[in-house]
């Protein structure tokens, strides 16, 4: 069987690799050539300020997110109460919901006309930090919970027999496991915050609170200065290449649907003060998490209006989501097949899959923009650009699921298929599709969810006549039509959560 597989040239994998490489190079080469030649020559205090603010807000956001995530994870790991599973599921919502929807919810709560009546100015660094904590502390908390769930039951029993106090349990059992997850979690959160586009664009409040991603967009769409955009993109690409590689090596991974093993019986935290503190911490986490989501639902229901603009934007969003998911699947499937059967392809396929992390959307859009404007022969319709960018951004999510499932299927069925002479389309229809139906469906839905909530691609390449639901919400917020934006956000949230619910069922994993 191995000799049979080895003789087959992985032509589909080579084609998928060529497509990914062409899309990435089309974004990288113009940025590299123009950025080094013209962009960095314009280095000025603004470039230093934007770079410094990008790193500052990402660093502060990471510290604050981890400061909330660690005690929340520890409290959830120590306590059993009705609704605990629901609380853990709620921690996946910020990752699943489109960023523009939750940003609107944060404005509805903390804005000048919000539920809390403008406790502080939501626009600027403080608003960015609040939004980033909302988005990222649940990711880190789930990563810590996975580590704590992996503690052997014998450790808890032994600690009780030895009379460990809570601080001893923390020092000798909990902290070593949490510490092992910290580098990966911190690098991942820093990467996500440094790449934050929607949050900074809507809550930045001006040039003093602008990141590289937003500055690139402004340089292209408002200042019409491609050279400056290319210079900013060069700096961002350098930073993100290092961060993406660190996240990959340190094990940073987005685990929205990661299953949790049943946590063993614990004997610590029995004191009333410990129970009170754990309960208070869980309530505090929910107080950060629930109000913005509730605000979107309540305000959206009160101002829901499914007019012509919303209908057209909905159809456009769904069309782009389906097409980008199909393209992402078409690129990942042959790469996963090659990685499962050829050890040399494993690293190549994995590297191709993280192209969307190494090449940030703003950098990719800048390169494509420069290529299209300076070489009109490469004219490409805007919808195809948005679909291609969304497909690249979804590659890490799709490949992670498909690679593991395809590898398992190959181990189970390759020898039998070789003996029976089943290959190609016949094998896919008779063997692979029935056995991999759930991971294929889950991967497709994950790609569609990523595309459905994306704002970056449509703002770079969209227009008044070509818009999606996230872009429509952004324009309504920019026109101070918050009630209308809430209604549109509810429509987007409903479609997204429908896909999330279906993905959760197809994932085969339940918390």
Output 7 or 170, whichever has higher pLDDT. Answer: 170
Enclosing domain of residue 448? 2-260+295-506
pLDDT higher than 50, residue 147: yes
Question: Do the domain assignments include residue 57?
Answer: yes
Question: Do the domain assignments include residue 149?
Answer: yes
User: How many other C-beta atoms lie within 10 A of the C-beta of residue 302?
Assistant: 11
Question: Do the domain assignments include residue 233?
Answer: yes
Between CA 390 and CA 458 the distance in angstroms is 10
SS (H, E, C) 66-85: HHHHHHHHHHHHHCCCCCHH
> pLDDT band for position 250 (50/70/90)?
low
Contact 244, 354 (CB under 8 A): yes
pLDDT 10s digits, 11-53 = 888 999 999 999 999 888 888 888 776 656 566 788 888 999 9
Output 226 or 284, whichever has higher pLDDT. Answer: 284
Between CA 9 and CA 338 the distance in angstroms is 9
SS3 state of residue 466: strand
Output the pLDDT for position 39: 56
Calculate helix-pair angle for 308-341, 482-506, nearest 10 degrees. Answer: 30
Output the pLDDT for position 386: 93
Between CA 116 and CA 134 the distance in angstroms is 17
Between CA 360 and CA 235 the distance in angstroms is 11
Output 298 or 463, whichever has higher pLDDT. Answer: 298
Task: CATH number of the domain at 66, please.
Answer: 1.10.3720.10
Output the pLDDT for position 85: 84
Among the listed residues 252, 405, 276, the one whose alpha carbon sits nearest the alpha carbon of residue 337: 405
Output the pLDDT for position 378: 66
Between CA 249 and CA 175 the distance in angstroms is 21
pTM of structure: 0.84
Among the listed residues 396, 399, 397, 407, the one whose alpha carbon sits nearest the alpha carbon of residue 342: 407
Contact 254, 139 (CB under 8 A): yes
User: How many other C-beta atoms lie within 10 A of the C-beta of residue 158?
Assistant: 12
Question: Do the domain assignments include residue 180?
Answer: yes
pLDDT 10s digits, 311-339 = 999 999 999 999 999 999 999 999 998 88
- Is the sign of the CA dihedral 39, 244, 131, 67 positive or negative? negative
Q: How far apart are the first and last CA of the chain?
A: 38
Question: Do the domain assignments include residue 500?
Answer: yes
pLDDT higher than 60, residue 409: yes
Output the pLDDT for position 253: 54
Helix ranges restricted to H, 195-307? 198-203, 212-221, 226-250, 272-302
pLDDT 10s digits, 60-108 = 999 999 999 999 999 998 888 888 888 888 888 887 889 999 999 999 8
pLDDT higher than 80, residue 153: no
pLDDT higher than 90, residue 184: no
Output the pLDDT for position 478: 86
pLDDT higher than 60, residue 221: yes
Among the listed residues 25, 128, 135, the one whose alpha carbon sits nearest the alpha carbon of residue 69: 135
Between CA 366 and CA 234 the distance in angstroms is 10
User: How many other C-beta atoms lie within 10 A of the C-beta of residue 315?
Assistant: 12
Residue 81 phi, psi dihedral angles, 5° rounding: -155, 155
> pLDDT band for position 4 (50/70/90)?
very low
Question: Do the domain assignments include residue 270?
Answer: no
Output the pLDDT for position 2: 42
Please state the rounded mean pLDDT for residues 476-488: 89
How many domains are contained in the chain? 1
Question: Do the domain assignments include residue 284?
Answer: no
Output the pLDDT for position 511: 41
Between CA 502 and CA 176 the distance in angstroms is 36
pLDDT higher than 50, residue 280: yes
Question: Do the domain assignments include residue 392?
Answer: yes
> pLDDT band for position 3 (50/70/90)?
very low
Look over the chain and give the mean of its residue pLDDT values, rounded to a whole number: 84
Q: Which of 219-228, 261-270, 341-350, 476-485 has the highest mean pLDDT?
A: 476-485
């Amino acid at each position: 069987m191995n000799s049979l597989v080895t003789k087959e040239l992985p032509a589909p994998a080579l084609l998928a690799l060529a497509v990914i490489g062409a899309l990435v190079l089309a974004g990288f080469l113009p940025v590299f050539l123009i950025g080094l030649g013209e962009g960095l020559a314009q280095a000025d205090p603004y470039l230093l300020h934007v770079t410094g603010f990008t790193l500052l807000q990402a660093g502060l956001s990471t510290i604050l997110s981890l400061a909330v995530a660690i005690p929340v994870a520890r409290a959830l790991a120590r306590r059993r109460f009705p609704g605990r599973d629901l609380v853990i599921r709620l921690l996946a919502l910020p990752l699943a919901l489109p960023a523009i929807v939750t940003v609107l919810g944060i404005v509805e709560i903390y804005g000048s006309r919000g539920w809390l009546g403008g406790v502080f100015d939501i626009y600027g660094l403080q608003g960015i930090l609040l939004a980033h904590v909302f988005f990222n502390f649940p990711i880190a908390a789930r990563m810590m919970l996975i580590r704590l769930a992996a503690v052997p039951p014998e450790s808890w029993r032994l600690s009780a027999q030895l009379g460990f106090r809570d601080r001893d349990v923390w020092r000798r059992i909990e902290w070593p496991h949490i510490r092992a997850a910290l580098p990966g979690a911190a690098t991942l959160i820093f990467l996500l915050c440094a790449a934050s586009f929607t949050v900074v664009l809507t809550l930045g409040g001006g040039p003093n609170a602008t990141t590289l991603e937003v500055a690139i967009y402004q340089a292209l769409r408002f200042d019409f200065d491609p050279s400056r955009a290319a210079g900013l993109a060069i700096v961002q690409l350098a930073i993100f290449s290092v961060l993406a590689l660190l996240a990959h090596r340190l094990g940073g991974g987005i685990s929205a649907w990661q299953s949790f093993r049943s946590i063993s019986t614990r004997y610590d935290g029995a004191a009333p003060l410990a129970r009170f503190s754990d309960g208070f911490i869980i309530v505090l986490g929910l107080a950060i998490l629930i109000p913005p989501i509730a605000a979107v639902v309540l305000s959206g229901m009160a101002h829901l209006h499914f007019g012509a603009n919303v209908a057209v934007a909905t159809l456009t969003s769904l069309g782009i989501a389906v097409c980008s998911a199909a393209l992402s699947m078409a690129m990942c499937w042959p790469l996963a097949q090659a990685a499962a059967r050829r050890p040399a392809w494993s690293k190549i396929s994995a590297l191709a899959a993280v192209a969307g992390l190494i090449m940030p959307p703003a950098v990719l859009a800048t390169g494509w923009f420069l290529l299209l404007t300076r070489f009109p022969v490469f004219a490409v319709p805007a919808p195809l650009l948005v679909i291609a960018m969304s497909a690249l951004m979804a590659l890490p999510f799709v490949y992670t699921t498909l690679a593991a499932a395809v590898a398992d299927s190959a181990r189970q069925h390759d020898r039998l298929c070789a003996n029976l002479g089943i290959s190609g389309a016949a094998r896919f229809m008779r063997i692979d599709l029935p056995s991999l139906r759930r991971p294929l469906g889950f991967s497709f839905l994950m790609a569609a969810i990523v595309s459905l909530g994306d704002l970056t691609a449509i703002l770079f390449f969209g227009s008044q006549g070509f818009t999606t639901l996230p872009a429509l919400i952004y324009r309504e917020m920019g026109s101070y039509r918050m009630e209308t934006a809430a209604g549109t956000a509810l429509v987007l949230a409903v479609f997204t959560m429908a896909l999330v619910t279906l993905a959760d069922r197809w994932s085969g994993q339940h918390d």
